Structure 1
């Protein structure tokens, strides 16, 4: 799925990115409270934007400095192919909606995407101190220990996840999500529907979950997990079974023994 980076460059850049993401995570943790913030939609959106702005003030410049010539994707909810070259796709508060509602499922992510393929990623969970990293061809790790996907081959024994990529999707998209959840509830053991995508995908990479799908092209929620799952030995494609890239319109990541069966269920 990815273009391999030189090993010495991997190590140097990964260290710098990890430091930047952890520093950004400290800023986001300082803003966290277990009480929900905001009542009206306007207030909630304002809290979300305030989180983004505070973290980006810490995160953006160190990443651009760490990789001279790289560019920055401004809108974290964008999808579709990027222009050629190297781009930072970062989410300063992945799971921002959880953060402002006092829930613990949120993280800071930064992924270097080269020619629409993720080649390096760091995901940091500030509340627990857990850090997930991957480089193309260099494996995936959790706090420095290798990650390996599930060995399951029976979809009927699988814990599978999905979720809504962004608010305001079309009615047809919501209907498709509902139909796919029904289909997977029938075929799998348990289906977990939650946000954000990255936090489910780190579970797939670690073998704690077995598959994750999404009808979405929102890059910031998928690029980090796509590289982590691939480097942990999983299979990542679109829902036509073609290799996934940032240009793909939908997404499936699964343990190799389950991928074909999951793809079949979702091909309705």
Structure 2
């Protein structure tokens, strides 16, 4: 990465924090909406409010960059630089008055995440990473867990999006059972990024997901990798945006986690 990217990181962080203030202003400590239509309306309203203040500054910060429009899409992107953004990562939690949500922005260059900012408006915490230059929380370097025993590990997973097909849901269930047998404690929650920042910070030891929704993975993938973690598919091959599944783990337990998950993928 170049010095330009260090300056860009500060610009992106400012934009994401400003967008986070918009999302925070929309937050209530009680659930909004009873029926599905009401919930979906609130989710879309959150996205629209944040994108109104975030999209233009990010595109202006990197002339020639493009915008990945569908936050639930997966797979590889065309070449060049793309902003992969989740304006309300954990939107379902926000709408239900819970605290696990964030604003994320990741610059993907030729299908590799190279810069990311994850901001948690309720706490004021900002996680950042630059490819090759490390990951930080509020300016302090992050480091993954030193665990070497899967049996002592706190591990997480969750749905990538609503409406997963039955085969995918059964695979998630089988993998949770397998990890409950082999690990210490398993968390099943959404969104992915809110678990991946815990892996990057060494508070959790691994996270896996059977899906390729890129907006939920690219930020955490870069944070974990830059904090010294191992990011692969569930067969242990280097993870790419074209991958169908994902695991990010402390190096000391990665192989053991792959051994558990690979037969289920």
Specify the TM-score bucket, using the shorter chain as the normaliser: over 0.9
User: Structure 1: 5+ residue runs without aligned partners?
Assistant: none
Q: Which residue of structure 2 lines up, in the alignment, with residue 147 of structure 1?
A: 142
Aligned residue for 1:123? 118
| Residue 160 of structure 2 is aligned to residue 195 of structure 1 | no
**Cα deviation, residue 216, structure 1:** 0.7
> Any idea what SS the aligned residue of 2:113 has?
strand
Choose from 5, 29, 35 the match for 1:10.
5
TM-score normalised by L of structure 1: 0.98
How far apart are the structure 1 equivalents of 2:262 and 2:72?
25
Map 1:204-223 → 2, pairs under 5 A:
204-223=199-218
Find the aligned partners of 2:135 and 2:177 in 1 and give their Cα distance: 32
Structure 2: gaps spanning 5 or more residues: none
> Aligned partners of 2:161, 2:170: CA distance in 1, in Å?
15
Choose which of 221, 225, 231 in structure 2 pairs with 1:230. 225
Per-residue CA deviation, residues 48-72 of structure 1 (Å, 9 max, x unaligned), is 0000000000000000000000000
Tell me the equivalent position of 1:182: 177
Pick from 140, 163, 166: which aligns with 1:168?
163
Q: How many angstroms does 1:9 deviate by?
A: 1.2
In structure 2, C-alpha distance between the alignment counterparts of 1:252 and 1:99, rounded to whole Å: 26
Q: 1:89 aligns with which of 84, 95, 98?
A: 84
| Distance in 2 between residues matched to 1:39 and 1:120, nearest whole Å | 38
CA distance in 2, matches of 1:255, 1:143: 21
Per-residue CA deviation, residues 153-177 of structure 1 (Å, 9 max, x unaligned), is 0000000000000011110000000
Matched residue count: 263
TM-align CA RMSD = 0.5
Paired with 2:34 and 2:52, the residues of 1 have a C-alpha distance of 26
Distance, in Å, in 2 between the alignment partners of 1:156 and 1:239 is 18
Write out per-residue CA displacement over residues 114-135 of structure 1, whole angstroms, 9 at most, x where no aligned residue: 1111000000000000000000
Deviation at 1:247, TM superposition (A): 1.4
Give the Cα–Cα distance (whole angstroms) in 2 for the partners of residues 43 and 29 of structure 1.
19
Question: Structure 2-normalised TM-score?
Answer: 0.99
Matched position secondary structure for 1:267: helix
SS of residue in 1 equivalent to 2:30: coil
1: distance between equivalents of 2:243 and 2:166? 21
Counterpart in the other structure of 1:103: 98
